[in-house]
Amino acid sequence: MITCGQQDRVSDVGCNTGDLSKALYTYLKTVYPYCDIHMLAVDIDSTLIERAKEANENPYIKFMTCNIMEQNDQLLIQITMWIHLNNGDAGLLAFLKYLKAIVIEPQPWKCYRNAQRRVKKSGNSFELYECLKIKSDVDLAFWAAD
């Protein structure tokens, strides 16, 4: 995946507080010590991004709040549940279709329910939650649709 070009870009989507982002960057620099690796780590939650920024000492890792459905990256590490909850079935399938490489960590439906409960406690809701039809084997649903 890393080509050691002018700048090799890696994205971590759904980075939370950035711990995995920093560990991945360290690993990549160990494997590709002469590459100019830059990482963009994003999350939809601005509170988590602020924590990540406060704890970050690496100038080659940038943390940012964003909706990744508007991005065009080569490698994304993501918990697909959040993409699914925020963008629905069609958004999830579109996300999986445009990637060149992905590490998928499918979540069981009970995690979706728990996320919806937590958001409801704050007075919000995932508006597409009730419309989701893909409720298991998310990765298999994509490959079957292709």
Total number of domains constituting the chain: 1
Q: What is the pLDDT of residue 118?
A: 87
46 domain-assigned? yes
What kind and span of H or E run contains 75? strand 75-78
139 domain-assigned? yes
Q: CB-hemisphere CA count at 13 Å for 125?
A: 5
2 domain-assigned? no
Q: CB-hemisphere CA count at 13 Å for 31?
A: 11
102 domain-assigned? yes
37 domain-assigned? yes
16 lies in which domain range? 8-145
- Full pLDDT tens readout for the chain, 146 residues: 566 666 677 888 889 999 999 999 998 899 888 889 999 899 888 999 999 999 999 999 999 998 766 655 544 555 677 788 888 888 888 877 766 555 666 677 888 888 889 889 989 888 888 988 877 765 555 555 55
CATH code, domain carrying 88: 3.40.50.150
35 domain-assigned? yes
92 domain-assigned? yes
Q: CB-hemisphere CA count at 13 Å for 65?
A: 8
Q: What is the pLDDT of residue 8?
A: 74
3 domain-assigned? no
